[in-house]
C-alpha cells in the first residue's frame, strides 16, 4: 500500500474569481464567477438570463475595467440596447468607448438541416476578432439553443459543445452562456451543465397568483457557495439578489437605550426606553393605539436625527400622516426633510419572498436606524402562518445584523381566548413585548397597557391606563382601581 505524505508547506490554491458587481450575487458566490472559465445561466423564458448576463458585462466594463463582448443569436443589437436602456445601461455609449462590443449572429437552421454540416470554426474566428478588437475579458453567448438548434446529431452536438467551452477557456475570458430550461433537466440538450464550471439556475414561479423570482447556484467547481434559493429583484437599477437565507445568530448587541417617544412608558423600562438594535412587538385589538405608539417612537427617533423606514400594509402614507396629526404627531415634516420614508403596499402585491426582497433592498438603500412594520399579521393574506413566520424570522435577523431597531405591530383578534399570544407565534423572537388592550367597565371602554417582557432590563409589571390625546400619548394610574 502506497502512503501519500501531505506537504503542509504547499500554498493553498484558490480559484480566481471575477466580481459580477451585482448586489448579493458576489456574496453568495463568495467572490463572483470563476475567472477565465465558462458559467452556464439557465432558466425558462422571462426569468432574467439575458439581463443578468448583460449586467455582468456592464458592471465589468464600468466598475472593474474589464471590457466585454455580447454575442446574441436572437435579439439584434439595436433591440438589445433599447431593452436594456430601461435599466439605465447606455450600451451605445459603452460601444463607442470600446468597453463593450455587441455582435448579432444569424443562424439559418434550414441550411444546417439541408447540408448536414456544422462546426464552430466560423464562430471562433468572429468571436476571436471581437475579443481582440477591444481586449475583452468577459464574454456572453445568448442563447446556446439558437446556436445548436438545427443540429440533431448528438455526437456532433456533444463534440462541438466541448470545443466551444474549451476554446473559451483557451482564450482566458470569463464567459457566460445562457440556456433555456429543459424538460426534467437544466437545459434542453442536457449537456451544457456538465461542461460548465459554474451553473446558475433562475426561476420565475407563480404561487396563488403571486410571482417570485429565485436564483440558485447548482454547482461551482473548486469553490464553496451558497446553496439555498435566493429571491432576486429586477427594477430600474438592474438585478439585486437577496442572500437572506444565510443569516444566523451572530449579530452584536449594544447597551445603548433609546426613548419610546412616551416618557411614562420609558419610566416603565427603568426610565431609559428600548435597547438600540432590539426588536419590539406591540400587540392589541383594533383601535387600541398600536400604530399611535409606533408613530410616537418614529417621531422620537427623527428628533434624535435618526432615519426611520416605515413599512405600512394597511394605510397610505398620506393617511398615516393625517391620522397621526390627531394625536399631535406631525410625521409629514420628517418625510419632507428626508429622515422618514413611508413605504405602503398591499400584502397581496407580492409573494412573501418578494416582500422580503423589497424590504431588504430599501433598507440597504435608505440605511435607517429604525424600521417599523405595521402590522405584521396582514401578511397572512398572502401566505400561511408558518410561511409568514419564517419570512419574519429572516427579516428580524437581517435588521438585527444591521443594528437596526425593529418595531412591529400585531393585530390581535377580539375573540381570541388569550391576548398574551400572537397568531404568528413571534413573541419568543421579540426582545420587548407590549400589550395594549381594551377594558370595559361601567359602560365605558378604557385602554390598558403593560409590558409582558423586556429582555435584559428591569421593567414594570403594572398595568397603566393608556390615553390618546391631542398632545400625544399619556399613561396614568388605572382609573378603575379605587
**Catalytic annotation, residues:** 74, 314
Q: Cβ distance 447 to 461 under 8 Å?
A: no
Would you say 242 and 212 are in contact if contact means Cβ atoms under 8 Å apart? no
d(CA 215, CA 221): 18
In SS3 terms, the chain reads as CCCCCCCCCCCCCCCCEECCCCCCHHHHCCCCEECCCEEEEEECCCCCHHHHHHHHHHHHHHHCCCCEEEEECCCCHHHHHHHHHCCCCCHHHHHHCCCEEEEECCCCHHHHHHHCCCCCHHHHHHHHHHHHHHCCCEEEEECHHHHHCCCCCHHHHHHHHHHHHHHHHHHCCEEEEEEECCCCCCCCCCCHHHHCCEEEEEEEEEECCEEEEEEEEEEECCCCCCCCCEEEEEECCEEEECCHHHCCCCCCCCCCEECCCCHHHHHCCCCCCEECCCEEEEEECCCCCHHHHHHHHHHHHHHCCCCEEEEECCCCHHHHHHHHHCCCCCCHHHHHCCCEEEEECCHHHCCHHHHHHHHHHHHHHHCCCEEEEECHHHHHHCCCHHHHHHHHHHHHHHHHHCCCEEEEEEECCCCCCCCCCCCCCCHHHCCEEEEEEEEEECCEEEEEEEEEEECCCCCCCCCEEEEEECCEEEEECCCCCC
Grid cell listed for 23: 448586489
C-alpha distances out from residue 103 to 37, 95, 193, 415, Å: 21, 11, 25, 66
Q: Look at strands 464-469 and 444-454 and give their pairing.
A: antiparallel
Amino acid at each position: 500500500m502506497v502512503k501519500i505524505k501531505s506537504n503542509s508547506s504547499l500554498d493553498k490554491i484558490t480559484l480566481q474569481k471575477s466580481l459580477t458587481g451585482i448586489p448579493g450575487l458576489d456574496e453568495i458566490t463568495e467572490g463572483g464567477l470563476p475567472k477565465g472559465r465558462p458559467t452556464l445561466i439557465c432558466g425558462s423564458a422571462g426569468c432574467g438570463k439575458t439581463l443578468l448576463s448583460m449586467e455582468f458585462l456592464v458592471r465589468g466594463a464600468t466598475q472593474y475595467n474589464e471590457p466585454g463582448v455580447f454575442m446574441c443569436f436572437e435579439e439584434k443589437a439595436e433591440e438589445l440596447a433599447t431593452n436594456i436602456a430601461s435599466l439605465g445601461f447606455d450600451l451605445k455609449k459603452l460601444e463607442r468607448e470600446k468597453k463593450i462590443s455587441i455582435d448579432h449572429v444569424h443562424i439559418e437552421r434550414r441550411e444546417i438541416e439541408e447540408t448536414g454540416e456544422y462546426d464552430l470554426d466560423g464562430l471562433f474566428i468572429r468571436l476571436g476578432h471581437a475579443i481582440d478588437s477591444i481586449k475583452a475579458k468577459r464574454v456572453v453567448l445568448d442563447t446556446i439553443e439558437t446556436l445548436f438548434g438545427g443540429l440533431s446529431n448528438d455526437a456532433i452536438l456533444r463534440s462541438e459543445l466541448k470545443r466551444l467551452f474549451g476554446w473559451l477557456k483557451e482564450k482566458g475570458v470569463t464567459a457566460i452562456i445562457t440556456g433555456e430550461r429543459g424538460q426534467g433537466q437544466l437545459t434542453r440538450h442536457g449537456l451544457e451543465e456538465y461542461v460548465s464550471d459554474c451553473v446558475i439556475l433562475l426561476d420565475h414561479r407563480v404561487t396563488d397568483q403571486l410571482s417570485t423570482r429565485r436564483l440558485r447556484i447548482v454547482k461551482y467547481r473548486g469553490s464553496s457557495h451558497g446553496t439555498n434559493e435566493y429571491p432576486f429583484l429586477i427594477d430600474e437599477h438592474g438585478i439585486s439578489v437577496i442572500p437572506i437565507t444565510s443569516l444566523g445568530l451572530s449579530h452584536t448587541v449594544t447597551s445603548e437605550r433609546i426613548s419610546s417617544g412616551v416618557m411614562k412608558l420609558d419610566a416603565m423600562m427603568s426610565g431609559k426606553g428600548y435597547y438600540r438594535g432590539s426588536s419590539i412587538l406591540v400587540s392589541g385589538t383594533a383601535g387600541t393605539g398600536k400604530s399611535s405608539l409606533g408613530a410616537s417612537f418614529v417621531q422620537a427617533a427623527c428628533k434624535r436625527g435618526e432615519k426611520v423606514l416605515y413599512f405600512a400594509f394597511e394605510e397610505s402614507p398620506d393617511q398615516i400622516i393625517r391620522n397621526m396629526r390627531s394625536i399631535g404627531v406631525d410625521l409629514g415634516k420628517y418625510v419632507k426633510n428626508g429622515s422618514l420614508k413611508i413605504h405602503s403596499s398591499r400584502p397581496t402585491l407580492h409573494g412573501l419572498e418578494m416582500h422580503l426582497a423589497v424590504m431588504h433592498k430599501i433598507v440597504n438603500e435608505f440605511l435607517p436606524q429604525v424600521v417599523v412594520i405595521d402590522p405584521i399579521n396582514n401578511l397572512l393574506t398572502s401566505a400561511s402562518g408558518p410561511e409568514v413566520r419564517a419570512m419574519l424570522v429572516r427579516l428580524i435577523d437581517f435588521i438585527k445584523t444591521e443594528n437596526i431597531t425593529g418595531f412591529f405591530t400585531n393585530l390581535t383578534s377580539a375573540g381570541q381566548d388569550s391576548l398574551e399570544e400572537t397568531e404568528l407565534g413571534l413573541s419568543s423572537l421579540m426582545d420587548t413585548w407590549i400589550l395594549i388592550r381594551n377594558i370595559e367597565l361601567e359602560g365605558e371602554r378604557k385602554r390598558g397597557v403593560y409590558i409582558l417582557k423586556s429582555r435584559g432590563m428591569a421593567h414594570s409589571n403594572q398595568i397603566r391606563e393608556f390615553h390618546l390625546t391631542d398632545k400625544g400619548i399619556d399613561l396614568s394610574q388605572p382609573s378603575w382601581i379605587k
